[in-house]
Amino acid sequence: MRDDMPPLACLRAFSAVAQHGSFTKAATQLHVTQSAISHQVRALERFWGLRLFLRDTRSVILSDNGRELLPVVRDCFARVGETAQRLRTEEAAGPLRVNLLQSFAVRWLLPRLPDFRARHPGIEVWLSTSSDLVNFEREDIDVAIRLGLGGYHGLHSSLLLTEEAFPICSPSYLQAMPQLRTPTDLLDLPLIHVTVPATGLGWADWFAAAGLAGARLPDGPHLSDSALAIQAALDGQGVALGRTALAVDDLAAGRLRQLFDVVCRSSTGYHLLCREGRQDSPKIAAFRTWMCEKADETRRQR
């Protein structure tokens, strides 16, 4: 007798025929044809080299071998079902672990997170921040949000937001600079720079979009990321190159002003990532649906 496992469909057919004493009723239960049930049972008998049923023209009854195997097969199905249910329960009860860029967490997600908690009080969200490539196999993460070009091989990806860059400053700074009327006027002011823009867009790109390609850029504070640059603009330290997701709330509240209608569009975007096949698990699906809804609201604000 072989020690490897037979096909699951054959075991299900064996259990159903044993339950009903009929190939026809077993086929009805499993939504297949009677011939398929007969084929699966015979395949199981060949696999183990055992006769499992005694057949005559009017009935199908278990052989001695079948009676001995039946409780083992049913116990196997029951244990699989119980284990799967326990795992689903544990997953539903555990936290949803989300890893994302710190700038996106502070300036976009955190202000909106109370709404998710109100809608899904049973889902506890744990946030961690990183800009590294995410490895779902090694890290205890359910969902990651990354800024990039897409094409995340082996992962399920949902595009949330694309990015535009545009000059921003505080209302008080704008009031103190009445001469700031055209993009050319920016060349006479200190500009807030991001050392390595995550979107790949810098002041040179925006000035090119404004028709001032090759212009000599004024000096000014050089900061490590866009969130710091936006904070410096909020503090009235000068004009920064704002980004859609990071500046949208401050623009809507009037804490920042966009200068001019010229925008520079990036090819990067914020993507919500999870392991392929996990996107429809209840916690992840709820969070993904909510994130896409909030992203739509942000696009409408722009």
Please report the domains of the chain, with CATH numbers, ordered by start residue. Answer: 8-92 (1.10.10.10), 95-160+268-301 (3.40.190.10), 162-267 (3.40.190.10)
Mean pLDDT of 228-238: 95
Specify the DSSP class assigned to residue 109.
I
Give residue 137's pLDDT. Answer: 86
Give residue 200's pLDDT. Answer: 78
What confidence tens digit (pLDDT) does each residue in 165-201 have? Answer: 999 999 999 999 988 999 999 999 989 999 877 777 8
The top-scoring range by mean pLDDT among 29-43, 87-101, 193-207 is 29-43
Helices vs strands, H then E, count in the chain: 11, 11
Check pLDDT > 80 for residue 302: no
What confidence tens digit (pLDDT) does each residue in 66-84 have? Answer: 999 999 999 888 888 777 6
Calculate the CA 274 to chain-centre distance.
5
At which residue do the structure tokens 């722009």 appear? 302
Give residue 81's pLDDT. Answer: 79
pLDDT > 70 in the chain, percent: 96
Does residue 255 contact residue 173 with C-beta atoms inside 8 Å? no
pTM equals: 0.70
Residue with the larger pLDDT of the pair 255 and 197: 255
What confidence tens digit (pLDDT) does each residue in 134-155 have? Answer: 889 888 999 999 999 988 988 9
CB-based burial of residue 107 (10 Å sphere; 0-12 exposed, 13-18 middle, 19+ buried)?
A: buried
